[in-house]
Structure 1
Amino acid sequence: MFSYIVKRLLLMLPTLLGVLLLTFVVIQFVPGGPVEQYLVEARSAAGRGGVESGGISYRGNQGVAPQRIEEIKALYGFDKPAHERFWQMLVQFANFDLGRSFFQNKEVWDLIVEKLPVSISLGLWTFLISYLVAVPLGVAKAVRAGSRFDLVTTLIVLVGYAIPGFVLGVALLVIFGGQLQWFPLRGLTSPNWEELSWGARIVDYLWHITLPVTAMVLGSFAVTAMLTKNAFLEEIRKQYVLTARAKGLTERQVLWKHVFRNALIPIVTGFPAAFIGAFFTGSLLIETLFSLDGLGLLSYESVIRRDYPVVLGTLYLFTLIGLVTKLVSDLCYVWADPRVKFD
């Protein structure tokens, strides 16, 4: 087991390096970088009648002075060759320095910490509700396999899975936020949240989070529910279940003392990835639709504005967390089922 863990840790390095290298190379060929955006801002300032605004000096048809362009390139680090910039980035990342945003004048770490509470609220509630609904539903479907309950719930689960979250979010906003006005249309809390009592804060927070979480949950528990059902059906047909029943055990004892542990192995092993993902998974469309300023919206805006330190810094952090979580998930197989050997 020790050698397997060391091997997996060593394999993370080329994987992480390959992800960063591929993204860095793609970025070099994407038009509209920080320097180009600076020039566009200069032309816009000149068009509004401001020849000099915020340090931008635009000279009509002559454009921005060449020395000023060189200063901007040096400011953003583009005065160095690509291989030097890539190596400098790797050195920074090795020291867990994610850099500083080009446009928001903040450290990338500070931006992640600032946006993380919104993504935690969405991801954690989605994770908890999905598992609390999916696992009991999957067990009930397995016990009643082929019944009307199984067919109806399967239809509901598949329909919910087929509906995109943002489409459901629009419908919820129109019906419950616009027509009925039962829930707010935007934000995670009310503007006067700081002035409310603790009880009122909790109610206000749950009031705001209901619609976006509902839009994310409906399709997320379908896979877990069907996986739980299939795992239970596979275990119920095995010989040890027949032996337990032959010994006179009740159906409840057979189900919860024998089948339950073995059937939940696929669910338990996927638990670490789902739990960690709840903290760092941002839904761009849901966050944009409900005006929630989280990691999903941060990533989208960083790509659009070509804020490369934020793009590469968040990519490095999330890839590293994903690789470690995948290793923990694989180790959970051994913990849940000692018969599993990685040799």
Structure 2
Amino acid sequence: MLAYLLKRILLMIPTLIGVITLTFVVIQFVPGGPVEQMMLEMKGRGGAAEASGGGAEYRGRRGVDPDKIKEIQALYGFDKPPIERYFLMLKRFAKFDLGQSYFQHRSVWELVKSKMPVSISLGLWTFFLTYLISVPLGISKAIRAGSRFDVISSMIVLVGYAIPGFVLGVLLLVLFGGGTFVQWFPLRGLTSDDWDQLSLMGKVMDYLWHLVLPITASVVGSFAVVTMLTKNAFLEEIRKQYVLTARAKGLSEHRVLWKHVFRNALIPLVTGFPAAFIGAFFTGSLLIETLFSLDGLGLLSYEAVLRRDYPVVLGTLYLFTLIGLVTRLISDICYVMVDPRIHFEGMHR
């Protein structure tokens, strides 16, 4: 297992470099870079850069002193050739320095940390509610497979899965956010304006009150996958020979299900648990955050792409890719912890 872990860790390096390199190459050909964005802001026009008829020059640069353009290029590091900028970026990333935002004048680390509370709130509540509801529901469906309860619950979770989260969010706002009917829940934000003046219990209730609509819009679509995965895993285990043997020995159905079936059936869920849990900290749903005016990681990434804020784009991509690779490795380790019969050497021959 140690040899396998070492191999996986070494493979992370070229994978990470490959993702960063591909993205860096692509953005070199994207029109309307940060220099053009700054030119437009200086001229008071804002928005994306507009290409001229020939496509060789941007209108944002017209009428601007060439010396000023060179000064801005030097400020952003564009006075250096791309290959030099690429290796400087890799050197910074090797030191876990994600760089400085071009337009927000803050480090990428500070920006990520400032947006984390919103994304953590959405991600963790979605994660916990999905597992706390879907796993027991999936077990109940497996035990009562083919019953009316199984059919009706399947229809409900599949309908929820078919409705996009942002569509459900709009519907919830119209119905319960003061859109057309009643205003039971707030329209935006995670807290009220008088948050600092509330008591401790008042702050907790205010926070939960603001979370109801965005969490509902985020979590409903997640029920179907976990529920059906749990049901199918239990059904597969229930039909195996060792279950028939346990029943033949006179064990109660409760003992058979919870002592023998439960552990084996939850292997697919438990092994994916670390990735889902850690990923919840970096969950950024752009549409949900925009719809409910929540300033999280999804909105940060979207705005960085629009404004060509390359340090934010590349820095967050590097961070999230690294986290994804590490959690994938943790998931593989969980396979062994849950089922010691698994040997990595045999899996990769």
Which category describes the TM-score, using the shorter chain as reference length?
over 0.9
Question: Secondary structure of 1:68's partner?
Answer: helix
Q: What residue in structure 2 maps to residue 4 of structure 1? A: 4
Aligned-pair CA distance for 1:44: 2.4
Aligned pairs for 1:139-288 within 5 A: 139-178=139-178, 179-288=181-290
Is the Cα contact below 8 Å between 2:36 and 2:61 reproduced in 1?
no
In the superposition, relative to structure 1, how do residues 45 and 163 fare at CA in structure 2: closer, same or farther (>3 Å)? closer
Aligned partners of 1:313, 1:271: CA distance in 2, in Å? 26
Q: What residue in structure 2 maps to residue 23 of structure 1? A: 23
Question: Secondary structure of 2:43's partner?
Answer: helix
Q: What residue in structure 1 maps to residue 303 of structure 2? A: 301
Q: What residue in structure 2 maps to residue 340 of structure 1? A: 342
Aligned-pair CA distance for 1:102: 0.4
Root mean square deviation, CA, Å: 1.3
Aligned partners of 1:39, 1:301: CA distance in 2, in Å? 18
Q: In the alignment, residue 123 of structure 2 is paired with which amino acid?
A: G
Aligned partners of 1:194, 1:277: CA distance in 2, in Å? 30
Question: Secondary structure of 2:44's partner?
Answer: helix
Q: In the alignment, residue 190 of structure 2 is paired with which amino acid?
A: L
Q: In the alignment, residue 119 of structure 1 is paired with which amino acid?
A: S
Q: In the alignment, residue 222 of structure 2 is paired with which amino acid?
A: S
Aligned partners of 1:61, 1:327: CA distance in 2, in Å? 47
Aligned partners of 2:61, 2:334: CA distance in 1, in Å? 65
Is the Cα contact below 8 Å between 2:234 and 2:261 reproduced in 1?
yes
Q: What residue in structure 2 maps to residue 71 of structure 1? A: 71
Question: Secondary structure of 2:177's partner?
Answer: helix
Q: In the alignment, residue 136 of structure 1 is paired with which amino acid?
A: P
Aligned partners of 1:307, 1:332: CA distance in 2, in Å? 38
Question: Secondary structure of 1:100's partner?
Answer: coil
TM-score, structure 1 normalization? 0.94
Aligned partners of 2:175, 2:61: CA distance in 1, in Å? 53
Aligned-pair CA distance for 1:38: 1.7
Q: What residue in structure 1 maps to residue 53 of structure 2? A: none
Question: Secondary structure of 1:79's partner?
Answer: coil
Deviations 1:137-191 (A, max 9, x none): 0000000001111111111111111110000000001101022100000000001
Aligned partners of 2:159, 2:62: CA distance in 1, in Å? 59
Deviations 1:241-286 (A, max 9, x none): 0111111111111000110000000000000000001101111100
Q: What residue in structure 2 maps to residue 319 of structure 1? A: 321
Q: What residue in structure 2 maps to residue 138 of structure 1? A: 138
Q: What residue in structure 1 maps to residue 35 of structure 2? A: 35
Gap runs ≥5 in structure 1: 47-59
Q: In the alignment, residue 268 of structure 2 is paired with which amino acid?
A: P
Question: Secondary structure of 1:280's partner?
Answer: coil
Aligned partners of 1:257, 1:64: CA distance in 2, in Å? 75
Is the Cα contact below 8 Å between 2:98 and 2:107 reproduced in 1?
yes
Deviations 1:97-155 (A, max 9, x none): 00010000101100111000000000000000000001000000000001111111111
Aligned partners of 1:207, 1:277: CA distance in 2, in Å? 24
Q: In the alignment, residue 117 of structure 2 is paired with which amino acid?
A: P
Q: In the alignment, residue 225 of structure 2 is paired with which amino acid?
A: V
Deviations 1:208-246 (A, max 9, x none): 001000001101121111000000000000111011111
Aligned partners of 1:158, 1:131: CA distance in 2, in Å? 16
Aligned-pair CA distance for 1:63: 0.6
Deviations 1:277-318 (A, max 9, x none): 110111110000000000010000110111100110000000
Question: Secondary structure of 1:270's partner?
Answer: helix
Aligned partners of 2:61, 2:212: CA distance in 1, in Å? 54
Aligned-pair CA distance for 1:42: 2.9
Aligned partners of 1:219, 1:37: CA distance in 2, in Å? 38
Deviations 1:40-86 (A, max 9, x none): 1233269xxxxxxxxxxxxx996111111000000000000101001
Aligned pairs for 1:89-104 within 5 A: 89-104=89-104
Alignment identity in percent?
73
Aligned partners of 2:250, 2:62: CA distance in 1, in Å? 93
